């Protein structure tokens, strides 16, 4: 196997900040609360600051009412944080500046593909892209082709030229993890900044030293590492992707598993302290 283009080693975060970064799209379920507790405990055990960031960059799915509800759920479960929570919706200038930098380095292009087109192109016989990867359809469009697509009223997403970069990182929980990147989206075609861009800019700007998050995001980290590299930002020193909490049937926690929010557990007679203890035991 060839040498990685980018390597990130697991380093001791020292007294550098930890964080939890919920998306206000609903109540936190027990799995989210457990991740928050683990992130919080890891930071506090090191005597480090713990930050809270509201990831409301997805304007279609984020709702104001969930912000206060989530903060309340976190407080009740015993998570505290330093300073006021920051909100991604207040930080568009930072993301715009990062995008500008990538753009001026010639790393950004417009992509007019629909999801269906990407699926189709990626599954074509002899397709060379790994499964689910963007096949590069719009990468080399000419100015005239782009103008034609714009004139047809197709909104463009913005992608970065990352395809083929091989990223290796040492996850503190999952161990060495390697991924070959595709050209991923940094701004969606509805105008929202993409999660990977916002999270990388934020973790660097907030000087986060340790990221503890769910294992469902393991796959996103190589993309963020690529962005840190291209933007010349310091990445967090440690990434810990903790296992997702599963229902009794071994599947990802969902409504059908019964009482999966703090509120539902409290209604069923448990105290918040009991839920906290149960979650910390369930590691
Ligand atoms: N906002 C993401 C979520 O709620 C978490 C992102 C992260 O921790 O990097 O799933």
DSSP per-residue string spanning 224-244:
HHHHHHHHT-PPPSEEEEEPP
CA of 101 to the centre of ligand 1 (A): 24
CA of 178 to the centre of ligand 1 (A): 20
Nearest residue to 229 (alpha-carbon basis) of 126, 129, 102, 139: 102
CA of 176 to the centre of ligand 1 (A): 21
Nearest residue to 86 (alpha-carbon basis) of 58, 57, 65, 45: 57
3-state secondary structure 241-252: EECCCECCCCCE
Ligand 1 in contact with 22 (CB < 6 A)? yes
Sign of CA dihedral 135, 138, 141, 144: positive
pLDDT at 2: 58
pLDDT at 127: 56
CB contact at 8 A, 186 and 158: yes
pLDDT at 129: 60
141 vs 151: CA distance, rounded Å: 15
Q: How big is the CA angle at 208 (ends 202 and 210), to the nearest 5 degrees?
A: 130
Ligand 1 in contact with 23 (CB < 6 A)? yes
For ligand 1, mutation pick of 18, 20, 23 (most atoms within 8 Å of CB)? 23
Q: Which atom from ligand 1 is nearest to the alpha carbon of 212?
A: 8
Averaged pLDDT, groups of 10, the chain, 283 residues long: 86 98 96 97 98 96 96 98 98 98 98 88 65 90 95 94 97 97 97 97 98 97 98 98 89 84 95 96 81
In DSSP terms, which residues pair with 6 in a beta bridge?
167
Nearest residue to 190 (alpha-carbon basis) of 217, 216, 154, 221: 154
Ligand 1 in contact with 217 (CB < 6 A)? yes
pLDDT at 161: 98
CA of 163 to the centre of ligand 1 (A): 24
pLDDT at 125: 62
Ligand 1 in contact with 200 (CB < 6 A)? no
CA of 216 to the centre of ligand 1 (A): 10
How far apart, in Å, do the first and last CA atoms of the chain sit? 34
251 vs 245: CA distance, rounded Å: 9
In DSSP terms, which residues pair with 42 in a beta bridge?
none
Extents of the domains making up the chain: 6-112+155-281
Nearest residue to 209 (alpha-carbon basis) of 48, 21, 70, 27: 48
In DSSP terms, which residues pair with 50 in a beta bridge?
18
CATH class in words for 6-112+155-281: alpha beta
């Amino acid at each position: 196997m060839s040498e990685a283009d980018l390597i990130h080693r697991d380093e001791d975060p020292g007294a550098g900040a930890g964080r939890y970064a919920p998306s206000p799209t609903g109540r936190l379920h027990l799995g989210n609360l457990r991740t928050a507790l683990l992130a919080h405990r890891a930071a506090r055990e090191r005597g480090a600051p713990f930050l809270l960031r509201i990831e409301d960059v997805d304007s279609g799915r984020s709702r104001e009412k969930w912000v206060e509800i989530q903060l309340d759920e976190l407080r009740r479960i015993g998570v505290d944080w330093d300073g006021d929570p920051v909100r991604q919706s207040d930080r568009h200038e930072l993301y715009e500046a990062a995008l500008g930098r990538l753009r001026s380095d010639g790393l950004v292009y417009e992509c007019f593909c629909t999801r269906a087109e990407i699926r189709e192109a990626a599954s074509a016989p002899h397709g060379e892209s790994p499964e689910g990867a963007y096949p590069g359809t719009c990468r080399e469009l000419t100015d005239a082709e782009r103008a034609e697509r714009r004139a047809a009223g197709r909104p463009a997403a913005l992608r970065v030229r990352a395809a083929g970069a091989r990223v290796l990182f040492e996850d503190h929980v999952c161990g060495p993890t390697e991924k070959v990147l595709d050209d991923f989206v940094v701004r969606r075609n509805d105008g929202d900044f993409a999660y990977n861009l916002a999270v990388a800019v934020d973790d660097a700007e907030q000087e986060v030293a340790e990221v503890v998050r769910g294992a469902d995001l393991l796959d996103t980290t190589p993309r963020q590492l690529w962005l840190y590299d291209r933007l010349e930002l310091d990445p967090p020193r440690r990434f810990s992707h903790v296992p997702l909490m599963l229902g009794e049937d071994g599947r990802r926690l969902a409504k059908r598993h019964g009482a999966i929010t703090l509120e539902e557990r409290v209604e069923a007679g448990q105290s918040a302290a009991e839920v906290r203890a149960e979650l910390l035991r369930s590691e």
